[in-house]
């Protein structure tokens, strides 16, 4: 993509381009690429997420034997024979995010099967820079955004944000890092001829993620019940979904080129918020805390909904 797909994986909608790099780098390179504005503890998370974990195993057809047929078809399509089974990915993105109106943004994310994710971005509504991050690392979730890097705009943490961010991590692992589908965190069961259900362990939580695969083996849809706002200050599981539009290849692994993602997937509210003419749209609304959907990657955000689009261009690899 994901990403972000990404993931992955901004709350009221976005579209843009993404470059991806699979696998880790050495510690010095990981430290040199820390995004500006991260607090020290999150900067350390960023470095850890970028570190390699030794020489990975490589993919072979035997790795998918015994998996449900849609999963086998997808992974044989998505991972080239002999490709490293990477456990992490870095994604760089740019485009537009809807902050009341469409505004330019740039962002970068590191996603690790075992370590979580950090997503850092800068948007420029009315030309004013709003910079911040979302994370799920060390078993907890957090979001923090500031105007000019100084004036607080949004800050969130606690059990609900953590649980929602863990759901994002589960979805993005499959969406943006297909090699993670073969990892120890993931188990599979059949659903129907075109889809299968993954149980993804993220910290102490388990998330069931349904993936749908096209006749050519390309991933077309990802859906999960993700912890999010129900209104009036309450939280609970809600349908969250991603549709995939096109692919790009990085180091022998195919990931989404563009996605549309958001809350209330498959409902009338999703359809009312779906995109047209290349832009994702939804009605603006505020939750019980008075927060209006704004600068947050919706795969990370536990307090707002919407849909998004992102497109990808030339990947970089290491």
Query: Is residue 90 a contact partner of residue 20, using CB atoms and an 8 Å limit?
Result: yes
Residues 6 or more apart in contact with residue 175 via CB below 8 angstroms:
1, 2, 4, 5, 6, 7, 8, 9, 219, 222, 242, 244, 255, 256, 259
Between 220 and 152, residue with greater pLDDT: 220
Q: Please report, for residues 193, 219, 241, the alpha-carbon distance to residue 215 in angstroms, rounded to integers and kept in the order given.
A: 10, 10, 20
Average pLDDT over residues 196-202: 97
pLDDT at 258: 83
What pLDDT shows up at residue 92?
Answer: 85
Q: How far is CA 59 from CA 62, 143, 251, in A?
A: 8, 35, 12
pLDDT band of 293, cuts 50, 70, 90:
very low
pLDDT beyond 50 at 261: yes
Gap between the Cα atoms of 165 and 23, Å rounded: 22
Quick check: 144 and 122 in contact, CB under 8 A? no
Phi/psi at 27 (nearest 5 deg)? -60, -40
Give the pLDDT band (50/70/90) at residue 317.
very low
Question: Can you tell me the distance from the alpha carbon of 155 to that of 157, in angstroms, rounded to the nearest whole number?
Answer: 7
Q: Supply the pLDDT for residue 21.
A: 67
Conformation bin of residue 233: beta by default, left when phi > 0, alpha when psi is -120 to 50: left
Q: Minimal CA–CA distance to 15: which of 3, 24, 25, 23?
A: 3
> Over 50: is that where the pLDDT of 287 sits?
no
Structure confidence at residue 278 as a pLDDT band (50, 70, 90):
very low
Higher per-residue confidence, 302 vs 111: 111
Give domain limits for the chain. Answer: 14-310
CA angle 138, 171, 258 (to 5 degrees): 125
Residue 54 scores a pLDDT above 90: no
- Residue ranges of alpha helices (H) inside the chain are 27-32, 40-50, 69-78, 159-176, 268-272
Please tell me the predicted confidence (pLDDT) of residue 88.
93
CA distances from 128 to 105, 122, 148, 167, 242 (A): 11, 10, 7, 31, 30
For the cut 90, the answer to whether the pLDDT of residue 197 exceeds it is: yes
pLDDT at 291: 29
- Does 74 or 283 have the greater pLDDT score? 74
Q: What is the pTM of this model?
A: 0.80
Q: Which residue has the higher pLDDT, 238 or 317?
A: 238
pLDDT tens-digit map of 298-311: 323 333 333 343 43
SS3 203: coil
What pLDDT, on the 0 to 100 scale, is given for residue 23?
65
Minimum mean pLDDT range among 18-22, 177-181, 279-283: 279-283
Q: What is the pLDDT of residues 124-172, one digit of tens each?
A: 888 899 899 999 999 999 999 888 888 888 888 999 999 999 999 999 9
């Amino acid at each position: 993509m994901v990403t972000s797909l990404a993931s992955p994986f901004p709350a009221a909608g976005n579209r843009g381009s993404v470059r991806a790099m699979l696998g880790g780098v050495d510690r010095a390179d990981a430290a040199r690429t820390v995004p500006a504005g991260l607090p020290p503890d999150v900067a350390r998370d960023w470095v850890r997420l970028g570190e390699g974990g030794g020489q990975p195993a490589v993919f072979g057809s035997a790795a998918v034997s015994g998996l449900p047929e849609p999963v086998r078809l997808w992974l044989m399509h998505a991972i080239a024979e002999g490709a490293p089974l990477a456990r992490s990915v870095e994604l760089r993105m740019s485009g537009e995010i809807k902050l009341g109106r469409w505004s330019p943004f740039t962002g970068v994310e590191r996603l690790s099967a075992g370590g979580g994710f950090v997503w850092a971005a800068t948007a420029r509504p009315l030309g004013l820079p709003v910079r911040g991050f979302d994370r799920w690392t060390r078993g907890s979730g957090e979001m923090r955004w500031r105007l000019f890097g100084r004036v607080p705009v949004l800050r969130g943490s606690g059990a609900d944000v953590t649980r929602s961010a863990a759901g994002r991590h589960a979805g993005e692992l499959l969406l943006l890092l297909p090699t993670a589908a073969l990892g120890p965190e993931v188990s599979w069961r059949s659903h129907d001829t075109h889809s299968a259900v993954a149980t993804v362990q993220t910290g102490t939580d388990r998330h069931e993620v349904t993936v749908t695969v096209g006749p050519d083996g390309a991933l077309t849809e990802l859906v999960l019940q993700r912890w999010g706002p129900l209104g009036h200050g309450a939280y609970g599981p809600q349908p969250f979904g991603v549709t995939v539009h096109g692919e790009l290849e990085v180091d022998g692994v195919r990931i989404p080129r563009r996605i549309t993602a958001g809350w209330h997937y498959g409902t009338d509210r999703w359809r009312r918020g779906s995109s047209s003419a290349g832009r994702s749209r939804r009605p603006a609304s505020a939750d019980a805390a008075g927060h209006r959907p704004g600068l947050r990657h919706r795969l990370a955000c536990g307090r707002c909904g919407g849909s998004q689009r992102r497109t990808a261009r030339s990947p970089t690899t290491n």
